Amino acid sequence: MMSKENEYIKIKENIVFVKDKTENNWRVVIPEKIVHMLTSETHEIMGHAGRYKTYYALKGMCIFKNMHKITAAVIKNCDSCQRSKPINYQASGPTISQKPKTPFETVSIDLMGPLPMGRGGTQYILAILDTFSKYIRLYALKKASAKAILNRIEVDYIPRTGKPQSILTDNGTQFTGKLWQKKRNDMNIKIKHSTKYHPQSNPVERYNREIGRLLRTYCHNQHTKWPNCLEKIEEWMNKVRSEVTEMTPWEIIKGETPKQPLEDMINFPRPKQSKKEDIIQLVASRIEEKARKRESKKKNQSNIIYEKGQSVLVRDHHLSNTDNKEIKKLFHMYNGPFIITKVISKNTLAVKNIHSGREELINVSEVRPYYVMDKHNNL
Ligand SMILES: [Zn+2]
């Protein structure tokens, strides 16, 4: 390295750090021969995160040539990812845009399970997501009851994470009962229900897929050990950059950049921390901007036309009917395939379960087309 130390280059203990004008963080210059190994380990440490998250985790701490290309190649070739890839899903996200302005303005909650019974008889995962920062908390529960959920909110979530102004839930009976209503009055928390026919407007559901992927990756041969993984999964999810906020949930809530895996080995120069008000303002404007983009994109999308005889998958809301209690089978968001027996209206389809022969009416928002992929073209 020819360049002398200056404002943008620093050498500490024989390691070269650089930063550019727009960035606050110092990044370590990675020698070419360990680039693949580092990329692959970062991807693994992050619970086999996708391209976007892996790339930004790397970019946040280091610099090397062709980072985009190498990240994509490493993930495409990852054995574990290829084995545990879920059925393909719509990447469009919630249909109703949440545009919160501050942390804990709206937290959304969701229950997943039942799972194979874990430590202490736990069977459900309660996920509480702050829709502003995307900070997520995960709890293992024995029962999917209002009492159990409220207990976690009162005893742990509020004291340790924050006091929500409102809670967004679906219309599951746990969330509409008397105890639930009384308690949230006592705690002075507003309730919002995501509409019955659009459960995907509850943003925490998007995170099911990710939790499922992480559980499948780490618990695939220890089906009852999943509660031990929750804390780690929660930490990973909070320390990876969100596409919406362009920050990690951790830095929005804690006001500090999360420690990167490399920091255990390398002593980075400390970056300047931004003021909390500045972070919140920046995040609010990014949420607003992304919601606007998403809405205009949606307007330009042509609606899917369904036809009689077509194969579809149907959303499995709480995954409670699964007979196969293996982690690898859980967290698939869709059941099926089903066959459309009649198109009732623009919004309603009659579908038939191929296996059980049962027929039912279903809203189109609960359905997605099902394609059988060519084995050799399975990207
Ligand atoms: Zn992987």
Tens of pLDDT, residues 199-221 = 445 566 567 767 877 777 777 66
Edge-to-edge strands, sheet with 359-363: 359-363, 348-353, 334-343, 311-315, 367-369
Do 162 and 253 touch, CB atoms closer than 8 A? yes
State in Å: Cα 306 to ligand 1 middle: 34
pLDDT recorded at residue 299 = 60
User: Residue 138: is its pLDDT beyond 90?
Assistant: yes
pLDDT tens across 314-372, in order? 876 544 444 445 555 555 556 778 999 999 888 889 999 888 888 888 888 778 777 76
State in Å: Cα 264 to ligand 1 middle: 22
State in Å: Cα 156 to ligand 1 middle: 32
State in Å: Cα 209 to ligand 1 middle: 15
State in Å: Cα 369 to ligand 1 middle: 26
User: Residue 289: is its pLDDT beyond 50?
Assistant: yes
State in Å: Cα 263 to ligand 1 middle: 22
State in Å: Cα 126 to ligand 1 middle: 25
State in Å: Cα 40 to ligand 1 middle: 8
Find tokens 């719509």 and name the residue: 90
State in Å: Cα 362 to ligand 1 middle: 35
State in Å: Cα 234 to ligand 1 middle: 18
Full DSSP string of 105-143: SEEEEEEE---S--GGG--EEEEEEETTT--EEEEEES-
- Total-model pTM: 0.68
User: Residue 38: is its pLDDT beyond 90?
Assistant: yes
In this prediction, residues 270-277 reach a mean pLDDT of 78
Distance CA 206, CA 210 (A): 7
Edge-to-edge strands, sheet with 190-193: 136-141, 124-130, 106-112, 166-169, 190-193
pLDDT recorded at residue 320 = 42
State in Å: Cα 314 to ligand 1 middle: 27
State in Å: Cα 220 to ligand 1 middle: 14
